[in-house]
Amino acid sequence: MENLFIQKLENLESNVLDSLKDHESSILKGVRRQEAQSAIVDTSSHSGEYKDGDFWHNWAGNVSFKPDKIFYPKSVEDLKTYVKDAQKNGKKIRCAAEGHTWSSLSETNDYLVILNKLDKIDIEKRSDGYVVHAGAGAQISQIDQALEKNDPPLTITSMTVLDNVRIGGVVATGCHGAKFEARTIVDQVVGFQIVTGDGELREFSDEINRDEMNAARVSLGLLGIIYRVTLRVEPMYDLRMTDTYPLKSEFNSATLRDLVKNSDGIEIFYWPFNTLGDDHSLSMETEKLWIKRWTKSSDPVTLSELQQVFQRIAQNASTKIANDFYHEILNFPNWTPFIANLAGKVKLVDHNEVWKAPGAIHYQAGIDNIPCEDLEFAIKADKDFENVITEINYVFDRIFYYAKQEKFPINLVVELRITKSSTALLSDAYDDDPDAYYFFLEILSIRGTPLFKDFSIELAKRWMEKYNARPHWAKYWEYIPNITEYLHEKLGDRLGKFEAIRAKYDPNNIFFDNESLKRVFYGTK
């Protein structure tokens, strides 16, 4: 009787798990959004769809435009048709997917191609290991699921926290994870299929042409329409994920060096005003950092699949609630310390858990329930990591400097990740030294926060002048004074190398329809 009862419980758990996975799948919000955009379809040879005269908006709500036509391709033949049609009619083409880019990279008055329906996924075993071939519109969650179901189970080495974004957009803009040796995500890419300016499908890889592959790795959509991305993957493994909260005042370069030496990856957060006094007074001395650390583990996974799904549901719900609270900041800016402090109390809880790699990498659900402002720069780290600490302290001090004047430009989080350098020509972490480390320093505030723009410009100017730092292409950067001239100068010879390859594959400039990028490439004001 007891065995029968246990079996029924196990069956119930399995049924609940399957149901939740169907209706609240990996990072929950992504699938519902995907369904709303009619993105889950079979990639077939049927003709793609298009619409005339619709507005397109990005996720953050800061980019909105009305292209002549919006296309929804279902096959590579559709892409070829669009390019040849653009040639015939003198039109330009830009692409978009999930719309998680703050900059204007997708903006066009002509043809906008939405890649979401190109989501076919195949796994191949090669002599040197496994690769996954993913359509440019495949969500990261779809890729994760396909890899986990493989025999043997596999995983991407490093990826964005968000898993509802699409792989084509992730690589085209040079996104990164938080694992040191994995470098940026594009450095895990071993092949591309791109429909170029003549309407034909071209292959890119290190074996075919290393220079061209390093241009394709961060192409910003300028070489053509990415049809397929091939990533190197590895056997599934587990990660121990620990969250600790040291005093900011006690966190130093020696501590950071030890973390880098003894971890697979780390992420450092600062939630402003996380330790207010009893009278809600500000206290710099008691403020804490949040250190998230990943290390490979052979210990059993801490949570069952069902527990993990419920945790994702709870995270999704909490971010929705948090978004409502955060928006009160826009109505009552002086409440910022109190509201940010509440968020910090929710977050600053010790954790020490073992997850399968994808679950640990995508540790937070519901992030996109909080539309926000976001600026991020990549800065080359000193060999002793002293400048990492210097910049954490600088941002911290400036937040409190503003707060003493009852001004609060940062109300969400300051975030920092570290990876080794990239070989991609246009990567913000490009370096000739393969052992160089870069840290990615990011500031986020609720959408519409007063003074965020001014504060972010102040930081950007400092990082550009002090470190020759470069912005993340997918985040805010275009409003920074003289940024296009600055990037034209700092990219230097790499820009010329990229331009020669770009002109080879798009001699008629079909994909070159972005004014900011034109100024970066050609140095015009």
Spatial neighbors of 193 by CB under 8 A, at least 6 apart, are 76, 201, 202, 203, 204, 226, 227, 228
What does the DSSP 8-state code read for residue 422?
Answer: B
Helices vs. strands in the chain: H and E counts, helices first: 14, 20
Per-residue pLDDT at 523: 86
- Do residues 49 and 71 touch, judged by C-beta distance below 8 A? yes
Residue 225 in tokens: 């329409």
Per-residue pLDDT at 484: 98
| Mean pLDDT (10-residue bins), the chain, 525 residues | 44 46 44 40 49 87 96 98 98 97 97 98 98 99 98 98 97 98 98 99 99 99 99 98 97 98 98 86 93 98 93 91 88 92 75 97 94 98 98 98 97 98 99 98 97 98 99 99 98 98 98 96 78
Q: How many residues does the chain have?
A: 525
Question: Computed over its alpha carbons, how large is the radius of gyration of the chain?
Answer: 23
| Amino acid making up residue 363 | Y
Per-residue pLDDT at 5: 39
Please report, for residues 160, 216, 518, the alpha-carbon distance to residue 477 in angstroms, rounded to integers and kept in the order given.
Answer: 20, 22, 15
Residue 289 in tokens: 């950092």
3-state secondary structure of 50: strand
CA proximity to 49, closest of 110, 101, 108, 115:
115
- Do residues 438 and 350 touch, judged by C-beta distance below 8 A? no
Per-residue pLDDT at 40: 32
The pTM of the full predicted model, rounded to 2 decimals, is 0.91
